[in-house]
Amino acid sequence: MDVLHLRRDQKDWRAQTRVIALKNRLNSGERRLPACRSRQLAETGNWRRIELRAQKCCRQGCRQLQAGSLCSPSHDALRGVLSSPCRPCFAQRGPKVTIDMLMGNYHIAVVGATGAAGTELLRVLERRNFPVASLRAIGSARSAGKSVPFRGESVPVEKLDDRCFDKTDIAFFSAGGDVSRNYVPIACQSDAIAIDKSSAFRMEPHVPLVIPEINADDVRRHRGIIANPNCTTTVMLMALYPLHRIFHVRRVFAASYQAVSGSGTRGVEELTRQTRDAVHGPKSRTKPGSSTSPEATADKTIPASVPPKTRIYPHPIAFNLLPHIDSFLDSGYTKEEVKMQDEARKIMHSPALRVSATCVRVPIYRAHSVAVSAEFQRPLSVEQAREILSKAPGLELIDEPHSNRYPMPLTVAGKDNCQVGRVRLDCAFENGLSFWVSGDQLLKGAALNAVQIAELL
Amino acid sequence: MDVLHLRRDQKDWRAQTRVIALKNRLNSGERRLPACRSRQLAETGNWRRIELRAQKCCRQGCRQLQAGSLCSPSHDALRGVLSSPCRPCFAQRGPKVTIDMLMGNYHIAVVGATGAAGTELLRVLERRNFPVASLRAIGSARSAGKSVPFRGESVPVEKLDDRCFDKTDIAFFSAGGDVSRNYVPIACQSDAIAIDKSSAFRMEPHVPLVIPEINADDVRRHRGIIANPNCTTTVMLMALYPLHRIFHVRRVFAASYQAVSGSGTRGVEELTRQTRDAVHGPKSRTKPGSSTSPEATADKTIPASVPPKTRIYPHPIAFNLLPHIDSFLDSGYTKEEVKMQDEARKIMHSPALRVSATCVRVPIYRAHSVAVSAEFQRPLSVEQAREILSKAPGLELIDEPHSNRYPMPLTVAGKDNCQVGRVRLDCAFENGLSFWVSGDQLLKGAALNAVQIAELL
């Protein structure tokens, strides 16, 4: 058994593991040490273990990784487990591997812990009993000093700095592209694996972009960073990929209907404030029921002449639509729209796929929806499509239009699964299918997907 | 000069004109008497005039129709005008033909005068100085006894019955398909021309379906009924047709974002009530700020667990999306979605055009928007497209994305012109263009278009 027992002082050990990690990053031909390696390097009493067998196991895809190596709480318990045969890792754990067995091993950092996505991430970690040994909630200087709830405790929010990722196994980044660009490399240098929600590294060739139901195997290629796809792309692909596997998609037209929580808590606050101002009149006014009230609006069916105050969006979002998400490119598409094509190509390994998207912010709180028309290489029927979609992982088929059953933001919000419906043969494509897919963009589009990625490690 | 002066008692005259109208309808090879004929049959003092020259003129497209024959307010004035040379009719009137000259000749009936579309129609008639000699506001039994404002007066609402269309020149129908199916034929029998907003007759081969900026000439084919197209189709075609004229559209993918006023005042009331309930909690509750409030929603970014009451729509519309407009067909498309193809084909005389649409109700009060990707036969550039769209009648190009200028419901609501923007080469089509078009569906999508049709008569 290739198990090394090394007695070192902590400083030496950390220096050495950092050198190993850096070497791995520099050597493009070799894979970076996987998460379980980092975890194994964590202290167990005064001894640190490097379990080579587990590492090899993990390089085969984390599938044969010994459960014991992941979670044994003590030196003695680990020693006993190491001699036992391989068991599936917790991402694929069977019912016999209890949560208690698996709990308590990952040192986690959540960057952007007070934001909409970060808050949701903490809930998902808790709800899925993710094995968290320790949690560091990290936020901006503005959030430092606040606290976030986790497993019944109050976790203080630390200010983001270079030392935040010491002794961290997995760092979830949910604080936007700039923070990720600056701090993901620092987290990697601290030997953490970064699971990044931002678009900063998504299209880097050596960074896997992963939706576990679609391309879980890509996780194995990581060298310290794994990217979480764009939320709208994820929602679309959850329905498109199962069909693509069988019929091979060539071309997609997509129009999105995106909720304000996609812009974070400030987007939610903006819609709330503007809606309330429309009902009451803005606070600065003395008279309630002024011209911005929905009642006035209802009478005239003309929106308010006095525009509400805007902070996040360039225009009012309450009772309005903004065909503008992320910044505009010279092509006339927005970055968000281009992501729909680029990320779909990478995730589904379909470099020739063409996706023309229009992304629109709509005045709803939560869950993104996408109207999709897709052209496939192979002919397909609605019955085949429905059968495939009904069996697809992470997806629910809600398609009884004559009973008024179809996916809607209000019914999919808060749910792990995306929902697909309105499935019909497309009348403008040969071998085409149209459908409507909705998904909670804070769950499957962000937090849930990130935790699912972590579960693959 | 072929002017007949006939002295008859009113009953005989009405009987005779009804026979003429019926004959015209029965004889499919011959055109129905145009509006100006009906108008000429109206009383001028105790004399009734049938001016054959005007009728001939009108059969040539209403373009050379004598202004005098349309609008002269008295017997003597008319006599004077008849000997003058042809002038353009008021639909194409120049600045020299004053409004006073043109006022006062059409006997108008508005069916559904208290609804959202009917109310808007009265405003448009007033605003455009449409020459109204008399106005009958017609409503359901529920609305009878109410009154509607028109030109500073209060017009009582009559209950819809078979006698409503006596002595009416033009009857605007804005009361839904069932009312139109039952009463449009009765209006025609009374020798009125029906301009019908409903879908009841739109696809009848002998009924012109007209957007004046696109197919004004089709009005000439009418035999008593002229149909107003579906509002979403109209908004889309206002931007698509100018491009189609030059580049010949073959295929369209469209996703709509439709306001609640498309469902009439009850749709507006539903959104208002549900929004207010979300802010205050429904009236039945004693505590304000219950779980449905946007504040609660904002905190959790999860919509209310207690669904709001629904009356018009099968599901809540506040902070929600319904991929469901009009009823579902066996193909899986809704009637609304199929209209987008069928009506576009008829209006643009493009029977081979394919339109795949997804129509979605969104929680905004007014103006429909459509995300369009269109494939053309001929190659085109964004510059060409922008130039064409900027010059198209009834359309405004709002396309400065880097300055955050693009069409939005809040900015287009209440405007006659539709607005198009987000113009870009489509990345999934050869010879394709994507754009975003918004239009006030109660104006260009309904009332304004109907009055514009009447102006062509």
Mean pLDDT (whole number) for B317-332: 97
Is the CB of residue A231 less than 8 Å from the CB of residue A441? yes
Enzyme catalytic residues of B: 231, 368
> Who among B316, B324, B365 is closest to A406 (CB)?
B324
* pLDDT of B81 strictly over 60: no
Q: Which residues of B touch A120 (CB under 8 A)?
A: 301
CA distance A49 to chain B (A): 42
For residue A315, the 8-state DSSP code is: S
> What is the distance between the alpha carbons of residues B456 and B70, in angstroms, rounded to a whole number?
12
* pLDDT of A191 strictly over 80: yes
**Which chain B residue shows the shortest CA-CA distance from A319?**
B364
A282 confidence band (pLDDT: 50, 70, 90): low
Say what the pLDDT of residue A305 is.
52
Backbone angles phi, psi at B15, to 5 degrees: -60, -45
Name the 3-class secondary structure at A289. coil
Q: Which residues of B touch A302 (CB under 8 A)?
A: 365-366, 413-414
Note the pLDDT tens digit of each residue in B139-186. 998 888 899 999 999 999 999 999 889 989 999 999 989 999 999 999
> Who among B279, B363, B382 is closest to A279 (CB)?
B279
Residue with more model confidence, A17 or A256: A256
The mean-pLDDT minimum among B40-44, B143-147, B336-340 falls in: B40-44
> Who among B328, B341, B407 is closest to A402 (CB)?
B328
Choose the mutation target among A269, A317, A319 for the interface with B, i.e. most B CBs under 10 Å: A319
Domain B232-259+321-441 sits in CATH at 3.30.360.10
Q: Which residues on adjacent β-strands are paired with residue B297?
A: none
Choose the mutation target among B410, B411, B416, B422 for the interface with A, i.e. most A CBs under 10 Å: B410
pTM of this structure = 0.79
Give yes or no: A368 in active site. yes
Note the pLDDT tens digit of each residue in A379-424. 999 999 999 999 999 999 999 999 999 999 999 999 999 999 999 9
One-letter amino acid for residue B426 of the chain: D
Rg (CA), chain A: 24
How many residue pairs bridge chain A and chain B with CB atoms within 8 Å of each other? 244
CA atoms within 13 A of residue A130's CA, in its CB half-sphere:
25
Q: Which residues of A touch B314 (CB under 8 A)?
A: 404
Q: Quick check: B323 contacting A, CB < 8 Å?
A: yes
Note the pLDDT tens digit of each residue in A197-241. 999 999 999 999 999 999 999 999 999 999 999 999 999 999 999
Note the pLDDT tens digit of each residue in A296-310. 344 445 555 556 778
Say what the pLDDT of residue A116 is.
85
Mean pLDDT of chain A: 79
Contact A332 B401 (CB under 8 A): yes
Contact A364 B408 (CB under 8 A): no
Nearest to A332, CA basis, from A370, A314, A359: A359
- Which residue of the set A62, A188, A368, A418 is catalytic? A368
For residue A418, the 8-state DSSP code is: E
For chain B, positions 26-55, list CB contacts with chain A under 8 A.
Answer: none
Residue with more model confidence, A168 or B96: A168
Q: Which residues of A touch B297 (CB under 8 A)?
A: 268, 272, 365-366
* pLDDT of A133 strictly over 70: yes
Q: Which residues on adjacent β-strands are paired with residue B226?
A: B195
Q: Which residues of B touch A373 (CB under 8 A)?
A: 253, 356, 358
Say what the pLDDT of residue B283 is.
55
Say what the pLDDT of residue B21 is.
46
Which burial class, exposed, middle or buried, applies to A1 when counting CB atoms under 10 A from its CB (0-12, 13-18, 19+)?
exposed
- Which residue of the set A62, A231, A359, A418 is catalytic? A231
> What is the distance between the alpha carbons of residues B413 and B365, in angstroms, rounded to a whole number?
9
Is the CB of residue B340 less than 8 Å from the CB of residue B232? yes
Sketch the domain layout of chain B as residue ranges. Answer: 2-229+449-456, 232-259+321-441
Distance of CA A245 to the CA centre of its chain: 22
For chain B, positions 377-436, list CB contacts with chain A under 8 A.
Answer: 382, 401-402, 404, 406-411, 413-414, 421-429, 432, 434, 436
Pick the CATH number of B2-229+449-456 from 3.40.50.300, 3.40.190.10, 3.30.830.10, 3.40.50.720: 3.40.50.720
Distance of CA B221 to the CA centre of its chain: 18
